Structure formats: C-alpha cells, structure tokens
Amino acid sequence: DTVSVAATIVSSGLTRREVSVELVAGGSVVATADLPLRDGRQVVSLPWHATAAGTTLLTVRVAPEPEEITPANNALDAPVEVSARKVKVLVLDAAPRWDLRFLDHALRRDSGFEPTVVLVGAGNGRADGFAGIPESVERWAGHDLVLLGDIAAADLPTSSQEALVEAVQDRGVGVVFQPGGEHLPRDYSGAPLERLFPVEVDHVTGGGAGTVESADFKPFRMRVTARGAMHPAFAISGDAAGNRAAWSGMPPFFRVAAARVAAPASTVLAEVDRPAGMPGDGPGPLVVEAPSGRGRVAWIGTEETFRWRRNVGDTLFWRFWGQ
C-alpha cells in the first residue's frame, strides 16, 4: 500500500525561510516536500509506498539551518510494521441496516481486508440451524476484528459470548459494538458480553431498550473530544482544532445508545448531549474505546454514521471506519 506520512514541523524565528522536509526509508530519501516556514506548527504530507513485509524504520528530517542552536531535534524516527496478511473482519448483524450496507461495500473494496459479513436470522429474527457464529475461542480468534451490530442474544448463546470474551482478553481479538435499538444493548444486561462494553449502559431509559430516540425538531449532534481529535478514527490532518470542527459539524442523527458513562480505563473520543431522562451530568459518551486484556474494544453509539455521506459520498464515512 501507499500511505501518507503526516509530519509536524515546529519552528520559530525563521519565517519565510524555505526548507526541504525529507522522508527516509532504508537509508534512502523516498519523498521530499518544500516548506516555507512560519512561526508555530505546520504539517506536511509525504507519500511512502510499502514494498516488503516486516519492520521499516521511517525518518523525517530537515537539514539544520546555520543559526540553529539545537540541530538534534531536526529528525524523528518511527518504526512501521508492514504485513502482507489481510485483516480478517467478521461482521454480524440482524438486518441490512444502512450503515451495514455502506460498510459492506467499503470493506469489499479495500484490498487490506478479508471480510465475512453475516446477517443472522435474516427474515425471521432467529438463526435456527445456522452454523456460522463462532462457538469456540479458536473460531473467534480466527478473526482480527469482530463487528457486532444489532444481533439478538438468542442468536449469540452464552457459551459463544464467553468464548468471545476470552478471545478478546487472551488472544487479542478486537471488537466494535454498534447498537441498534432492538437487541444490542438491551438483550445483554447481565450477560457475559456486557463485560466487554467500554461504557455503562442505562437499561431503564428508553423503556428498557437501551437506546433513545430524539425529538424530530431536536436531533442529536456529535462532538469530538480533545482526545478524539488526534485519534486515528478522526484524524483528517495534524490540526486537532480543525479535526474537531470538521467532525463536530457532521449531520445530526436521531437515535443514540443510552450509555451513561464510559467504563474505567476507557477513552471517550466523541460525545453527545445527554438525552432527556437519562441520569447523569454533562454530555454522554458516543464513541469510546478501551483496552480489554490483550485486545481492544470500541463502542459506536449510533447506527446513523451513513448520514456523514451527505454531499460528500464515502470520503469521511470510510475515513472513520477504515481507520
């Protein structure tokens, strides 16, 4: 793949001086960018094409100027791991929701993923005789990432949930939860799967559904946090303020999971105004990630990220999901 390396250059007292920013890989300069300096932080993008699997040391450097006192900070190294193996993704949902439809298309177009998308119990809400849901730790661990949509607990037995918890915590599998309002999170109150949630769910608000509908005249709006502004999921550029402004201006949505607070050790990447009737103070967590043993889990509290496609197509939708 060809990737874009974002290099942040900080300078002072050298306004209008033009310097050459170089990207070095394997001892050779592979990309350069001419940068007219101004005081403060500037970001340049340098392309790098990976040609071999393994660890490559990338270096960004700028030649010292004659009046610089400390030239040692003119270079920065970053090891990058390159793999020829495709990321195996298992997507389980109960219905072809709009987010799932666009995500399915995007996953299949991306050569870095090997996706398996399964609609569990499509048509009758059950999965009688369906053999696709992993029931053992080994089968769950055969995937790098599991995306769980609005799947019913009846279709994900307790034994499968326990196996998934073990696969995450002992084998390093990643899980993304995207509630939908019918089953997730409502069906999993007190179930083994709830131990992986990076949020605490209010199972009373919304009539016990675990999700809340907004009023038509007052939809929900996402607000990216300071921590989320530079997280890969929301990183459009090296400008944190610009990232927050861009994502916080996304189209509003009308349903949100009733997450009261983030669980301990979790990081809130985006928030939403707390729905009426939900206990607690301040905004509620919307997009949250957390470590769980050797694995990681993420919570995306809306099923309406497809609205981000309005007027711009897949650009921001896949920026978020792909990263």
CA distances from 38 to 11, 16, 17, 43, 242 (A): 7, 6, 8, 11, 18
pLDDT at position 125, please? 42
CA distances from 156 to 33, 95, 283 (A): 52, 15, 31
Q: Which of 212, 214, 213 is nearest to 202 (CA)?
A: 212
**pLDDT digits 0-9 by tens, 167-219:** 999 999 999 999 987 899 989 989 999 999 999 988 666 555 677 888 888 89
Give the helix/strand (H/E) hosting 116: strand 113-119
Spatial CB neighbours of 293, under 8 Å, sequence gap ≥ 6: 168, 169, 170, 172
Q: Cα(50)–Cα(281) distance, rounded to whole angstroms?
A: 47
Q: Cα(75)–Cα(23) distance, rounded to whole angstroms?
A: 10
pTM of the model: 0.77
Q: Cα(267)–Cα(94) distance, rounded to whole angstroms?
A: 28
Q: Which residues pair with 91 in a beta bridge?
A: 117, 147
Average pLDDT over residues 64-75: 91
Average pLDDT over residues 112-133: 66
Does residue 63 surpass a pLDDT of 80?
yes
Per mean pLDDT, which range of 151-165, 195-209, 234-248 is the poorest?
195-209
Q: Are 133 and 154 in contact (CB under 8 A)?
A: no
pLDDT at position 208, please? 58
pLDDT at position 205, please? 62
Q: How far is CA 244 from the centre of its chain?
A: 15
Q: How confident is the model at residue 279 (pLDDT cuts 50, 70, 90)?
A: low
> Is beta strand 174-177 parallel, antiparallel or unpaired with respect to 145-148?
parallel
